Structure 1
Amino acid sequence: MIIFRYLLKEVAKTQLAVFFVLMTIFISQKFVRVLGDASEGSIPGQLVMTFIALKIPDLAGFILPLSLFLGVLLAYGRIYADSEMTVLHACGVSEWYVVRVTLVLAVITAIVTGIFTLYLAPLASEYQYQVKEELAADSGLSALVSGRFQQTGNQDAVVFIHDKDRETNSFNKVFVAQLPKGEHSGASIINSSLVYARTGRVYEDESGSQQLVLGDGIRYHRDADSGEFQSVAFDKYYIQIKDQEVEHQHRKLSALTTLELYNNDNPELESAYRATIQWRMSFPLICIILIFIAVPLSVVNPRQGKFGKLLPALMLFLGYLLLLTSMRSAIEKNAIPSVIGLWPVHISALFIGIMLLMKERSTGRIIKAKLPSFKLPSFKRKTKAKSSQGKGN
């Protein structure tokens, strides 16, 4: 029991460290992209962390199997490099016992990974689509950025703000160009109503409609009958922005729940649905299958160090993942029957792991010893025997 807890603790500790490091790297990349969209005004600044949080389930489902694989390699590699595993083997701890101990952690990781890939990731993707639809339906006044020309959500006006107070959501030095509807672009520029105000603020009522209230400004417009331009000073000027109806975006398969994919009734997309289901189920299976590969590959010579077999192990993992990706693409294109699915790749990886594991066990050595071997006859001994007889005579 002490050995069981020791091995489990070392692998779990290393796995968590690798998981948090990889998650930090990937989330940082996503944060830079989302922050770039926020700086361009595509999304409001207060929703930056929301979009980052919605990426976590998808990233966690991918990184958990990789962190387990690297955790086993690094933890057992250190134990082998420090000759601790040699002592454990001398005390009767077999390679298969190490695999069984690691499988306990692999099953736990597989359950957590399945929760992310089969349940949380589709929900997060669907919620992300809903947030984007709400942003598209929004008039955009609450997301205005100072120092940039921006078009409102109904595309009826262009707003430029010199300065913005984020606490009170008020503006200073506001320029608005109201574009008339139903005219050509050249005529729209001439007939546009130009408004300049020193102050401005956004008000939103219970129905969700927003108003831009401008204060202490001048409105310039062209009279339709006389064709002359007129200017009107005002204390308050209201610009009503009507909310657009929410336009539902086309959902990708990643936004559909696993139950919806399973209960599909569209024969044209049946292959794509089955490929997506098997892809989501692959990550929990990877957690268990990779143990049979990682444990034998963690056997290193003390002179090699714990990173001795890290590069070939990573190459195997990447090859495994690339094969799954190519098989999924082939199933979606109906090049491979959906009944076959991704199972050949999983079975091949499991076979490689069992072969690597049997190579280190006594059963594997016995089978190898029973295989027929062919050796060339040795003529060196006969030559020596003849020479010795000659000397005796």
Structure 2
Amino acid sequence: MLIKEVLKTLVVIMSVLLLLILANAMVRLLGQVAAGAISMKVMGVLVALNMIKVSGFILPPAFFFSVLWVLGRMYRDSEIVAFSSAGVGLLRLYRPFLLAALPLALLVGVLVLEAFPKSLAYADVLQSQEKKQFRIGGLKPGAFNEFNRGRFMIYVGREEKSGDTLQDVFVRYVQDGKPGIVVASRARLAHLDEPPGRFLLLEDGRRYEGVPGKTEFSVAGFQRYGIRLPDVVAERVNMSRASLPTSLLLGSDDIKLRAELQERLAAPLSVFALMLLSVPLAKSLPRQGVYARLVMAVVIYAIYMNLIQLGEKWMYNGVTPEWMGVWWVPGTTALLAFLLIRLDAVAYSSLWRRWKGRRL
């Protein structure tokens, strides 16, 4: 029953978190689509990759708050009191949560150690390639659109419903070191075989070419004119440490790469550490409210995540010895869970109550 309730709550919390992350990613990527940096098709791929990247890191806190939520409700409904009267103690409650944590930790390990770096590297490559391409579909009517670091500046009056033809087009370009301006009634993007390459084909317009202030200046009208677009040259993508495969980190002697590996390994360990902490944190008295320690849990989790980040930085900066790595953060959290269990046991023991009664 406990496993079922926790997993149902976990699905709800994960769905809410993923929807929030999805909305944030779509807003950011739609801005790039409107600017012509990426296409709608690539945006869908990047959204999916972003969901894969974050899933492994939000599963541990989602499981943590799922256990808190379920146990808090059970304390409110006095179900834990019924469990205790039947001989089910606090340590016995850990058994179902441990059974749920084992497959979740395995899933988190696969997502963080394998899926996360691969999805991050693929997303970097896609965005790098898309930003180098010139796209008609990304042009915004009624605004100036800049491409290729200012090599092409295009103003579009309006766009036909078909989406492949632009009207009332103004183009400023630099070709062979010479600036030029073209004004045309219509324009479209085409791939030609002779001469081979990509061209912006303009129709019914005028061309102005020359350097302002010099006598070499030409003006000509045309019915059809093509501007060759530069070939897309694949540049080297600078891979961050986060996008490096785990197999490469395992065999590295670089302290920064070893710190990155430690941070990844901390994710599956966090499933167990936060689970151990959630059970004593959820404990509350009837008059303390339903989720008396939920605020404390949020604060502890915020401190926990910051310590993970600090642990990585301290490791490669030499503040902490390498053998400590980042695992000391989950270890300290597990120790804190043990101390909370002991404090609760002392606080509600008969000896403590008698000693407190004498003082009063």
**TM norm. shorter chain > 0.5:** yes
Among 296, 313, 316, the alignment partner of 1:312 is 296
Query: Separation in 2 of the partners of 1:280 and 1:321?
Result: 13
Query: Separation in 2 of the partners of 1:208 and 1:149?
Result: 28
Query: What is the aligned-residue identity percentage?
Result: 25
Say whether residues 1:243 and 2:242 are aligned partners. Answer: no
Maintained 8 Å contact 1:203/1:212: yes
What is the one-letter code of the residue matched to 1:200?
A: A
Aligned residue number for residue 168 of structure 2: 173
Maintained 8 Å contact 1:154/1:242: no
SS of residue matched to 1:327:
helix
SS of residue matched to 2:322:
coil
Aligned residue number for residue 57 of structure 2: 62
Maintained 8 Å contact 2:174/2:180: yes
Among 188, 204, 215, the alignment partner of 1:201 is 188
SS of residue matched to 1:10:
helix
Say whether residues 1:344 and 2:316 are aligned partners. Answer: no
Aligned residue number for residue 152 of structure 1: 147
Among 138, 142, 158, the alignment partner of 2:133 is 138
Per-residue CA deviations over 1:229-263 (Å, capped at 9, x if unaligned) read 44322221111112131111311111111112222
Per-residue CA deviations over 1:293-316 (Å, capped at 9, x if unaligned) read 101111112232321110111222
Per-residue CA deviations over 1:201-228 (Å, capped at 9, x if unaligned) read 111358994211111112223499x936
* Alignment RMSD (CA, Å): 3.0
The residue correspondences of 1:47-196 to structure 2 (distance < 5 A) are 47-153=42-148, 155-165=150-160, 167-182=162-177, 192-196=179-183
Cα deviation for residue 374 of structure 1 reads 9.7
Per-residue CA deviations over 1:331-367 (Å, capped at 9, x if unaligned) read 12233232221122222111111222345569x989x
What is the one-letter code of the residue matched to 2:207?
A: R
Query: Separation in 1 of the partners of 2:197 and 2:185?
Result: 23
Cα deviation for residue 276 of structure 1 reads 0.7
Among 269, 287, 308, the alignment partner of 1:303 is 287
Among 250, 260, 264, the alignment partner of 1:280 is 264
Aligned residue number for residue 214 of structure 1: 202
Query: Separation in 2 of the partners of 1:237 and 1:166?
Result: 23
Distance of aligned partners of 1:204 and 1:260 in 2 relative to their CA distance in 1, 3 Å threshold: farther
Say whether residues 1:258 and 2:242 are aligned partners. Answer: no
Distance of aligned partners of 1:99 and 1:361 in 2 relative to their CA distance in 1, 3 Å threshold: farther
Distance of aligned partners of 1:44 and 1:179 in 2 relative to their CA distance in 1, 3 Å threshold: same
Query: Separation in 2 of the partners of 1:297 and 1:247?
Result: 51
Unmatched 5+ stretches in structure 1: 1-5, 183-187, 379-393
Say whether residues 1:356 and 2:360 are aligned partners. Answer: no
What is the one-letter code of the residue matched to 2:245?
A: T
What is the one-letter code of the residue matched to 1:194?
A: I
Aligned residue number for residue 384 of structure 1: none
Aligned residue number for residue 388 of structure 1: none
Query: Separation in 2 of the partners of 1:80 and 1:374?
Result: 27
Corresponding residue pairs, total = 355
| Farther off after superposition, 10-19 or 33-42 | 33-42
TM-score, scaled relative to structure 2:
0.88
Maintained 8 Å contact 1:140/1:153: no
SS of residue matched to 2:288:
coil
Query: Separation in 2 of the partners of 1:336 and 1:351?
Result: 19
Maintained 8 Å contact 1:212/1:238: yes
Distance of aligned partners of 1:168 and 1:319 in 2 relative to their CA distance in 1, 3 Å threshold: closer
SS of residue matched to 1:112:
helix
Distance of aligned partners of 1:75 and 1:209 in 2 relative to their CA distance in 1, 3 Å threshold: farther
What is the one-letter code of the residue matched to 1:262?
A: L
Maintained 8 Å contact 1:210/1:241: yes
What is the one-letter code of the residue matched to 2:228?
A: Q
Cα deviation for residue 154 of structure 1 reads 7.3
What is the one-letter code of the residue matched to 2:204?
A: D
Aligned residue number for residue 275 of structure 2: 291
